[in-house]
């Protein structure tokens, strides 16, 4: 019995597919060997066939191609402006911030406040997450 490799990188699995395809192993057999070593959730038989087809068509790169993503509205300048508004009034709400920045959705504003600036709500006041329990009880 072989040792199972848990959570392999996608490019590692594709490299194995490319190698076995170069040795002219059939896609069904490649899939069987992948499942034997990497486990049941490694890759479907159809995806193995797709990669074999791509390698046969001349593809040599095993890494994902770059994708065009939707540009983010969140940038350093916007985060700084939101931080300045928070410092003016700690008892703000996301709705109040939305009134100040109507071009940005409430969801994005909440993401800026909680994830970028690391604030969370405590007794109707937004405070940095770095406070200890002792600070919070005062």
Q: Is the dihedral of CA 121, 125, 131, 132 positive or negative?
A: negative
pLDDT by residue (tens digit) across 69-118? 777 778 888 899 999 988 888 788 888 889 988 888 899 998 888 888 88
DSSP 61: -
Domain boundaries, the chain: 10-57, 70-137
Q: Is the pLDDT of residue 44 over 90?
A: yes
Please give the pLDDT value at position 33. 93
DSSP 115: I
Q: Using an 8 Å Cβ cutoff, are 100 and 85 in contact?
A: yes
Q: Which residues contact 112 (CB under 8 A, 6 or more apart)?
A: 74, 78, 79, 82
Q: 125-128 and 119-122 as β-strands: parallel, antiparallel, unpaired?
A: antiparallel
* CATH class in words for 10-57: mainly alpha
Residue 126: which of 93, 102, 96 has the closest Cα? Answer: 93
Per-residue pLDDT band for 127 (boundaries 50, 70, 90) equals low
């Amino acid at each position: 019995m072989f040792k199972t490799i848990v959570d392999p990188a996608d490019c590692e699995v594709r490299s194995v597919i490319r190698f076995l395809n170069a040795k002219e192993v059939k896609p069904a057999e490649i899939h069987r060997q992948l499942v034997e070593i990497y486990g049941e959730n490694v890759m479907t038989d159809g995806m193995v066939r797709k990669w074999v087809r791509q390698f046969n068509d001349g593809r040599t790169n095993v890494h994902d191609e770059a994708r065009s993503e939707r540009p983010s509205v969140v940038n350093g300048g916007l985060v700084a402006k939101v931080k300045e508004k928070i410092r003016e009034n700690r008892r703000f709400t996301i709705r109040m911030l939305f009134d100040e920045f109507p071009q940005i959705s409430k969801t994005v504003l909440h993401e800026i406040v909680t994830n970028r600036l690391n604030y969370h709500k405590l007794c109707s006041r937004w405070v940095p997450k770095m406070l200890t329990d002792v600070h919070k009880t005062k």
